[in-house]
Chains A and B, each alone.
Chain A
């Protein structure tokens, strides 16, 4: 058990105020409910999660050492693993109560509702405007496209920087701007959930701070899941945190596992599991 004052965390992590507001405490309705999930590649299990509830309008962070399967898991929520040959998802993920992997579910429809931002900014080699308009055009939402694009770029806190050069190539932007453009691109189709796979790992500290700021604004409208290898980032932005670790079997095979899931404060100050404590205090990983 860790019993230090949370503001004096051994790994130097400054936490949000310790007094948890009732709103923070209360459970929101669930967007995703994960039960007994195993993801395997070519028959080799990559990550297991027994129970992981994702609440609405909250930021949930997945943390853990490299190879713990956090990125693999986040790709289950928008069925991106379907695109990986040999990937198999077993167990159950409910999305608003419906089985996300049900036989009648079309992965393309899922991805229209659940946006994803990748580790490395991946703007399309087109204009800034066309990048944001891509999703709406695919969905046939071309009425009032200009307004829709503007709204999405504004929500991604990018409007003032790009409003005069919407027609120039997205590849001329800085890395941080590109990543916010990728966020805007997701927001343009009014998704329900935003999945972010280490969205700031390729960015400098200032650009990272902007993305983090943006996340706390966005969670009022969207549910956000973020994978991060940066504990400070999880502590800063997340309401809930899931800690993953790697189990090494006797034969040397490695498989990621969800060790603990709780409110972020609890994970960083008073975790139940010894492995979580070792990780967040910097003794391992």
Chain B
């Protein structure tokens, strides 16, 4: 029973990922007084791309074809760590958050290699910028999670979520606020959202992620787009599981699960609204201001770790 729910959770994270993206795009459009496309459009795009033929640069090697595949596999493996409906997940009780973070790093590593294999200037530009952003984002990401793990005295994600479930909802500490701030900032950087990267342009002055995928087409591009949607969904789900897990099903009963799923959808919707407001309200940072942004995130997360000293007892 438990394993069925665990697998179901991974499937939800994978299958609903384009929908989350569609909803955010739609909300942004409404905020900007446009009508916007249907929330199902990302699915249609994926189907379209999967059916198309693929264009491969003649100078590229096997790495170019391997990169999207590894990215997809690693992202799915990372998603398998994240709890959705109950305080457990497929890998969440055995593996810990270090593995989750490094799984995402594995995918990113290969995507950057794929970008460099295209042989054009844009791929290198995207990969180089991604290298800067991701190498600086790793420290606040892990430190924010460490602060929570120290409070929970557990390192496995399932245990951390279970510990938070046992706490009073009004018992929010400074550590939680600081850790949430830093992790939210990291989420923006990691998933290539607005103040750090603009997911909607192909303008070479600003782009990071879009620069890396410029040479990809057809099924490979579909895999990359899907993987980045899964990554966004999984990061949002991780934020929910760590900071607002209340409402997750305690038992394995069908009704409990259904209620937990509904509640999860509501929470994701709140986060989607927040994200679209931020993306509409904030201008993109200049490339060399991004390190400052991540520096603030690092400082905040370091403070979170230091403050665990006083909150723990």
Do A and B pair up? The answer is: no
